[in-house]
Chains A and B, each alone.
Chain A
Amino acid sequence: MEHAMTLVIFTFLSQMAIGAFACLFFIDTYKEKISERSTVISLITILAISAVAVVVSVFHLGHPFAAYRALLNFGASWLTREIVFFPLFMFFVLLYTFFAKTKAQKQILGWTTVVFGAVTIFSTAMIYTIPSVPAWNNGTTLAAFFLTALLPGPILVQLLLALLEKRTVNFNLYTTVVAFLALLLNGVTVSVLKSGLPAAVESAGLLTASPLFWIKIATLAAAFALAGYFLLKKKAGTVSTVTTLFALVIVAEFLGRILFYSSGVHL
């Protein structure tokens, strides 16, 4: 799939942005005080990442300037639904950035944004949950897409806050658990594929024969170990710890998405 790199970038960045917003919203509204400056800069970063995702995705089309026509099949096409919901997510991030002042406003706008984000990820996963590619036609697609939101997203927020506020919000328990789930999902995916149709078995072979798969496993394991170490030590970690964690999960999830497309054997 030579044209798949635009899809790799779009799905990865959009899901990370959605996860990052959800995390920032929870911290901002329910957990602890973040300065307005840090919140706004973080939200604008999330919007910028989302905008890059949209621009890249348009270049996947043969006719980028006719992209608006992709809105025409909302009743049947998950791709149309994704194309409707992701800009709605972005619009509500914008509203949250500039209009959510009170806790009630933050809750209403924040939850609406999170719901649009979650529906976007669900729609993206449904685009690929299709019988023509047996490796994708199961729950691992949905799980993998949500994990891309849940793993790099919050660590991006952690990194932004570490850089902007010069303090590390302690996510170690969360990161350890989610990195473990991400590791587990790889094992589950390979075993699901191996017990599937011949095309899925072929996908499992392509996956495990790829060095990228093992680099992904190694980076996820390293992220799990690093977050676990600081969890046991009961320390939040430094800016460099968070930067390392972010780099590890970015590499793992990005490689995972490349592998998703490259190992999807058609019937």
Chain B
Amino acid sequence: MAKKQKRYAFLINLERCIGCNACTVSCKSFYDLHPSINRRFVRETSELLTGTPKRNYISTSCNHCDRPACATACPTGAYIKLDNGIVKHNQDRCIGCRMCATACPYGVPQFDPVKKKMDKCDMCVDRLEAGEQPICVVSCPLEAIAIVDLNEIDESQVVADLPGFADSSITGSSTRFILPKGTTVVRGGIKSWNTL
């Protein structure tokens, strides 16, 4: 039987992420990105994802969508959805019209003010093809970022949507998240305020 084509996607483990930004910085450094742009972002997200207050972080980059709005908007056809799921941007075609940044629900493509073209995560496709993991994956000290095959993943253990993250059904975002576990530890400050 022919081997099924892989569909690569990011799996972000919120239980593990501590918001250290190692992924953002290592990617930026590896690709020598302009100071004003990043391919990966880490931000704080809702403290109530699990029902009890707990600080949570979310690391996101391009979501390598199934129906990429960037590709539909781009007048030069600079974006292609590869068979392996990766949405790749061809900078040689880009003319810097920024339409992709407007159309992407996640505002992912960033304008490089020196090259005057867009830049975005390509899931380190060259490294993946060489059998290596992406830079952000290997640099995360908590192993909170992984590359998974959407054909293999148990979807019941992950989610595609989070508060503050644009509805995944708009473009078919491929990123999956592992939600943080609930905690029984309630911060002293909050507890004492409540019991005052």
Contact = CB atoms under 8 A, between A and B. Distances in A.
A71 B75 contact: yes
Interface of A: 3, 60-63, 66-67, 69-73, 76-80, 83, 127, 130-133, 266-267
Contacts of B98: 3, 62
16 contacts: A63-B94, A70-B76, A70-B97, A71-B75, A72-B76, A73-B77, A76-B71, A76-B72, A76-B77, A127-B99, A130-B69, A132-B102, A132-B103, A132-B104, A133-B102, A267-B106
Interface residues of B, number: 27
A187 B77 CA distance: 38
Contacts of B104: 132
Contact of A69 (B72, B93, B111, B116): B93
A25 to B, nearest CB: 29
Interface of B: 69, 71-77, 93-99, 102-107, 111, 115-117, 166, 170
A70 B98 CA distance: 12
Contacts of A70: 75-76, 95, 97
Contact of A132 (B69, B74, B75, B115): B69
Contact of A79 (B73, B94, B105, B117): B73
B75 A79 contact: yes
Task: Report which residue of B77, B93, B105, B117 has the largest number of chain A beta carbons within 10 angstroms of its beta carbon.
Answer: B77
Given A79-B74, A130-B102, A130-B103, 16 more contacts: A62-B95, A63-B116, A70-B75, A70-B76, A72-B77, A73-B76, A77-B73, A77-B74, A77-B75, A79-B97, A130-B73, A132-B69, A132-B105, A132-B170, A266-B107, A267-B106
